[in-house]
Amino acid sequence: MAMGHFGIYDRVEELLRGTKGRVLDVPAGEGALAVRLKDLGLDVTCCDLYPQIFKLADTEIREGNLDARLPFDDAEFYTVVCVEGLEHIENPANAIREFARILRPGGMAIVSVPNIMNIEERLKWLFFGYTSHFKPLSKEAIRVHQRHEMGGMDEIAFHINPIGYAELRYWLEKAGFEIDGAYADSKKSGMWAFAPVVGVIRLAAKFTSGKKRETRWTDEMNSDAVLTGGNTLILAARKL
């Protein structure tokens, strides 16, 4: 069960330690995160577009598409965890609306996306026009990737939707969530080299009015979790 980044799992564990109730893990992949959620004593249900790759015994797995209606009733879960999912699908806003539908009032959604807003990725976008996790998908790149990765399961193999902090927060709030917090998966090595640029960005923000910084989430997008965070951005949000 090697799929996934374990720094993300560590953070999800921290956020869910001490909680109770039924949890949905989607997309569940091979079950690596589900193992850790079950070790916390949580009642875990799993869902994935390709349930045939799931390897965890004695755990419910259903076939479900994040771009469509998930196979669950309204208000069925206390928590939904979506790690390494939204960047693979065509309609992340639909997935977030589905999370709101299947969560109980007060329930939590924990979602992760590749952090395209940290300083290293911002500079890569400036100089190359793309970020580390969202390289151009030319026909040749697709053929090579399909040969060496997931055997034609393109939704697993490809990152097709770069999502920043602002877009993710907008979709969550529009669906009826309130943001609890933003988190990085782990510290990213070598970020010290970007300290001068980070300082300039944060200094420039101070010359913006407080009202504009608030309405444009300037401080949040220049926070440690986002601007100097790791490879992955994690948002925890509570259904109102």
pLDDT of 38-83, one tens digit each? 999 999 999 999 999 999 989 999 999 999 999 999 999 999 999 9
Chain mean pLDDT for the chain: 92
CA distances for 148 relative to 29, 109, 153, 161, angstroms? 18, 33, 11, 21
The pLDDT score that the predictor gives to residue 189 is 84
Check residues 217 and 157 and name the one with the higher pLDDT.
217
pTM, two decimal places: 0.92
Average pLDDT over every residue of 146-150: 55
Examine the pLDDT at 141 and tell me if it is beyond 80: no
Domains of the chain, start order: 6-117+133-189+230-239 (3.40.50.150)
pLDDT of residue 149: 54
